[in-house]
């Protein structure tokens, strides 16, 4: 058996191996395709690049200096609502398929940094869902436990990383799609402050609120990818026109003493899952041990902001992207997705402005609250759902967004970090949410927590301690 068969594809391990000459980008691409073929029932991919195309990309990367390519030879994939020139984009709906002439801004930057794109990844149709099973094709399978949903909507993106197929993936996040699947698959899901990363070339769910997240095995890997894709884009008016270096996670100092916010106990809903509640309490104790001081806050303004995006006139923005497809090809759209988007037709323009004005007030209020702490600490999800439970009751999808819906409408950075396993062996993800542009601080706290917890990376056989030695 090749030594590569047991190799972790995390960035630190690959970068070290490249510098030592133990393998080449072509070797890693071959190993990635071997793993994908062996784990085909994960259904992580909707379009896998031909092997020859990926090998040609590996050769082009190898022909350039390693020092000029910060992501040299790192295999990755993107969610299938992100354009890659010459590859079909479907957002999980064949009736919508088109082949773009140009790649999305994030893909252009990743390719320039030396990463190797292996394909387009599975997703909840139209990025409308947090469970990962709102699909008309076979749904991605949770990399750790096939009984659990994979999380969505960036399901395939998370599964590909957790299963060891890629070093990282890029998804899209409107209300938690870059964090919920991370929690379900025991990996990191980094969602930057809105505006730091361009969304040019995305097929939007809600253009106003969509943010590109990074999925990776470690906080440090996510940091490296974020550093490569962050920065203004002259073709995307939504990007923040300030130097990306101000937010480079690599410049973050160790956490030291810090203050973290917790909701009032009556505002923490675990939907009857006491196993999840106990693990959350244990992780809060770990944060105390890292130098943290808890501060209790009122979570209601945050929760209200989350409801405004998914249960208000603001959902009408989805109709702009997908309404025509829904009307012309209703048979091609998943019933739960059709219902969510169809609700947009019941609101008036005045309803929309009323919701926007309320959201502005909530932004001001919550920003004042977060200015006094380093992070708001929450479970990424309050419980873990099985495929059978979601199939029996699709409305359970909303439970998954309780602690994630609000981050983008409030313009906040957030990430989900693996924080060990529950007593029943299932993964637990902790969310850290910060004030706008405190991405570096969140990264430092998340790295410290991941280092303290340690343990298994994703669904792989590699531990955090092994790659950190």
Q: Would you give the DSSP letter of residue 465?
A: H
DSSP string, 144-156: S-TTB---SSSHH
Q: Is 8 among the residues known to form the active site?
A: no
Matching residue, tokens 């060990």? 420
Do the Cβ atoms of 81 and 127 come closer than 8 Å?
Answer: yes
Contact 205, 126 (CB under 8 A): yes
Single out the catalytic residue among 177, 198, 416, 431.
177
- Angle separating helix axes 439-453 and 274-289, nearest 10 degrees: 100
If we measure between CA atoms, which residue out of 310, 307, 313 comes closest to residue 349?
Answer: 313
H helices present in 46-200, as ranges: 51-62, 105-112, 155-162, 180-185
Q: Count CB atoms within 10 A of the CB of residue 302.
A: 28
Q: Is 79 one of the annotated active-site residues of the chain?
A: yes
- The alpha carbons of the chain give a radius of gyration, in whole angstroms, of 20
The SS3 assignment for 427 reads: strand
The closest alpha carbon to 219, from 467, 416, 456, belongs to 416
Give yes or no for a cis peptide into 153 (omega within 30° of 0): yes
HSE-CB for 425 with a 13 A CA cutoff: 5
177 is a catalytic site residue: yes
Which among 8, 79, 120, 172 is annotated as catalytic? 79
Q: How far apart are CA 432 and CA 380, in angstroms?
A: 9
Q: What whole-number distance in Å separates Cα of residue 317 and Cα of residue 329? A: 19
Report the alpha-carbon distance of residue 194 to residue 240 in Å, rounded: 8
Among 8, 15, 153, 416, the one annotated catalytic: 153
Catalytic amino acids?
79, 153, 177
């Amino acid at each position: 058996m090749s030594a590569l068969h047991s190799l972790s594809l995390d960035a630190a391990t690959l970068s070290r191996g490249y510098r030592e000459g133990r393998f080449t980008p072509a070797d890693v691409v071959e190993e990635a395709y071997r793993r994908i073929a062996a784990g085909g029932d994960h259904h992580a991919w909707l379009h896998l690049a031909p092997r020859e195309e990926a090998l040609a990309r590996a050769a082009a990367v190898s022909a350039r200096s390693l020092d000029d390519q910060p992501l040299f030879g790192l295999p990755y994939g993107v969610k299938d609502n992100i354009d890659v020139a010459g590859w079909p984009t479907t957002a999980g709906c064949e009736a919508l398929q088109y082949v773009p002439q140009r790649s999305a801004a994030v893909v252009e930057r990743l390719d320039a940094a030396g990463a190797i794109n292996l394909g387009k990844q599975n997703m909840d149709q139209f990025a409308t869902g947090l469970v990962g099973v709102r699909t008309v094709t076979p749904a991605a399978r949770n990399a750790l436990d096939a009984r659990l949903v994979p999380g969505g909507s960036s399901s395939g993106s998370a599964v590909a990383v957790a299963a060891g197929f890629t070093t990282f993936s890029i998804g899209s996040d409107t209300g938690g799609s870059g964090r919920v699947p991370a929690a379900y698959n025991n990996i990191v899901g980094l969602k930057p402050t809105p505006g730091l990363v361009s969304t040019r070339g995305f097929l939007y769910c809600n253009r106003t609120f969509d943010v590109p997240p990074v999925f990776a095995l470690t906080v440090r890997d996510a940091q490296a990818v974020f550093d490569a894709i962050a920065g203004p884009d002259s073709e995307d008016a939504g990007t923040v026109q300030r130097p990306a270096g101000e937010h480079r996670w690599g410049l973050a100092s160790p956490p030291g003493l810090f203050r973290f916010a917790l909701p009032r106990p009556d505002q923490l809903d675990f939907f009857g899952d006491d196993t999840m509640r106990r693990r959350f309490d244990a992780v809060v104790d770990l944060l105390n041990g890292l130098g943290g001081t808890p501060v209790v806050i009122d979570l209601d303004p945050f929760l209200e902001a989350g409801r405004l995006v998914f249960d208000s006139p603001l959902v009408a923005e989805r109709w702009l992207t997908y309404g025509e497809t829904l009307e012309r090809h209703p048979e091609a759209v998943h019933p739960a997705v059709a219902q969510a988007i169809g609700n947009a037709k019941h609101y008036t323009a005045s309803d929309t402005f009323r919701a926007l004005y309320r959201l502005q007030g909530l932004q001001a209020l919550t920003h004042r609250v977060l200015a006094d702490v380093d992070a708001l600490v929450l479970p990424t999800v309050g419980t873990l759902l099985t495929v059978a439970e979601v199939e029996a009751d699709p409305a359970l999808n909303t439970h998954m967004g309780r602690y994630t819906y609000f981050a983008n409408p409030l313009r906040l950075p957030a990430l989900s970090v693996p924080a060990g396993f529950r007593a029943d062996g299932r993964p637990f993800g902790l969310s850290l949410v910060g004030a706008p542009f405190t991405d570096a601080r969140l990264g430092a706290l998340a790295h410290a927590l991941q280092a303290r917890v340690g343990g298994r990376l994703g669904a792989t056989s590699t531990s955090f301690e092994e790659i950190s030695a």
